[in-house]
Structures are given as structure tokens and as C-alpha cells.
Amino acid sequence: MDSQPTLFDPPGPRARRTDPETSHEAARGAQKAAASQRRHIVQALIVNGPMTGDGLDAFFEWPNATANRRLPELQEAGTVEMLDTTAKTRRGRRAHLWGWVR
């Protein structure tokens, strides 16, 4: 029986059919990393409450804007939502908080 993909499963291939195998390998690695990041973000929001994308990057020690690439994907899936409240980032700018959708 085929199981349906979940939010955390890697999406389809991100490399073109004509790309070399090394590109396909890199794409598979990136898909797995993105799925792992989405899982970590949701878990952090469940456990810690609302956070900014910058706060998530700091929490996980990810490069800047890593969480901000994943948050819209999670929002589209209905797993997280952008809140009306803001908080300061590490650079002192205001950013929206993100929360887990129960």
C-alpha cells in the first residue's frame, strides 16, 4: 500500500533530467535537509512557543535566513502561521513571530 507523502517528506526532484548525476545527488541532499529543518522548526515552535525566523536560526545555529526559507512552506501546509506580533532580531530589527498551528 502506497503511503501519502507528508509535509516533512522531500518534494520531487529539484534537478533537471539533463543535469549530471552530481546535481541529482546534491538535490536529494538538499531535499532531506529541508525536510529535517521543517521538522525541527515545528518542534521548536511547539516546545518554545512563537519565534522569529532569525530566532529559529539562532536557536539551531543555522546560517541566516535558513528558517525564513522553510517557514512559508510550513505556512502553506497550514502547520505554522505568521502572528501579528513582532520581536527584535539579533540585529535589532523588528520581525514577525511565527507560531505553531494546533
Q: What is the mean pLDDT of each run of 10 residues along the chain (102 residues)?
A: 51 72 76 90 97 98 95 94 97 97 90
CATH for 36: 1.10.10.10
Look up the domain containing 41 and give its range.
21-100
Tell me if 74 is assigned to some domain.
yes
Tell me if 91 is assigned to some domain.
yes
**pLDDT at residue 67 in the model:** 97
Tell me if 35 is assigned to some domain.
yes
End-to-end CA separation in angstroms for the chain: 29
Tell me if 86 is assigned to some domain.
yes
Tell me if 83 is assigned to some domain.
yes
Q: How many distinct structural domains can be found in the chain? A: 1
Q: Is the pTM of this model over 0.85?
A: no
Q: What span, in angstroms and rounded, lies between the C-alpha atoms of 44 and 27?
A: 26
